[in-house]
């Protein structure tokens, strides 16, 4: 038995040969620049940092050691700091006194205004009486 070979059609001879392509001499592009996203996207949230821890300096409960803040100050400026604290406490006392005086004055003014309102209402009643008496003569 003869082996059958696949039939391959003969190549036509009328086609010209194509030259081999030359490599392009263009620079290769670098990585593409990152562009801001477009559209309605939610902005990225910044990571939330835990709040800064503040030492507790409240008055201690009875039976417990008092909590003292750890603050280091030069001995030379310690006196200045204590003087400023004294000045501030004096100012707070002065402001408290001014507020109490203002409160007392406000109460006095309110009392005087009440008195003036009573006098005005009495005058109004008297004027109404006189007006009614003279506008309606007796016959």
How do residues 57-110 score in pLDDT, each as one tens digit? 666 566 666 667 677 777 778 888 889 999 999 999 999 999 999 999 999 999
pLDDT of residue 98: 95
Q: Is residue 55 part of a domain?
A: no
What the block records as the tokens of 122 is 């009495």
Q: Is the pLDDT of residue 1 over 60?
A: no
Q: C-alpha distances in angstroms, 53 versus 9, 50, 61, 72, 77? A: 88, 9, 21, 18, 27
Q: Is residue 17 part of a domain?
A: no
Identify which of 4-13, 50-59, 102-111, 130-139 has the greatest average pLDDT. Answer: 102-111
Distance CA 61, CA 69 (A): 16
pLDDT of residue 105: 95
Domain encompassing residue 95: 74-133
Q: Is residue 82 part of a domain?
A: yes
Q: Is residue 138 part of a domain?
A: no
Domain count, the chain: 1
CA atoms within 13 A on the CB side of 16: 3
Q: Is residue 34 part of a domain?
A: no
Q: Is the pLDDT of residue 137 over 60?
A: yes
Asked whether 81 and 73 are in contact (CB, 8 A), the reply is: yes
Q: Is residue 11 part of a domain?
A: no
Q: Is the pLDDT of residue 14 over 60?
A: yes
Q: Is residue 54 part of a domain?
A: no
Q: Is residue 111 part of a domain?
A: yes
Residues 6+ apart with CB under 8 A from 69: 55, 57
Residue 50: band (very low, low, confident or very high) from pLDDT cuts 50, 70, 90: confident
What the block records as the tokens of 102 is 């203002």
């Amino acid at each position: 038995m003869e082996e059958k070979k696949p039939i391959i059609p003969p190549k036509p001879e009328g086609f010209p040969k194509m030259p081999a392509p030359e490599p392009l001499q263009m620079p290769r592009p670098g990585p593409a620049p990152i562009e801001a996203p477009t559209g309605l996207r939610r902005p990225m949230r910044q990571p939330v940092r835990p709040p800064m821890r503040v030492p507790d300096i409240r008055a201690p409960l009875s039976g417990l050691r008092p909590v003292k803040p750890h603050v280091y100050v030069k001995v030379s400026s310690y006196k200045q700091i204590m003087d400023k604290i004294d000045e501030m406490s004096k100012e707070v006392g002065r402001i408290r006194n001014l507020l109490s005086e203002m409160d007392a004055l406000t109460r006095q003014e309110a009392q005087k205004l009440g008195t003036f309102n009573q006098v005005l209402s009495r005058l109004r009643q008297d004027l109404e009486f006189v007006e009614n008496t003279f506008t309606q003569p007796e016959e």
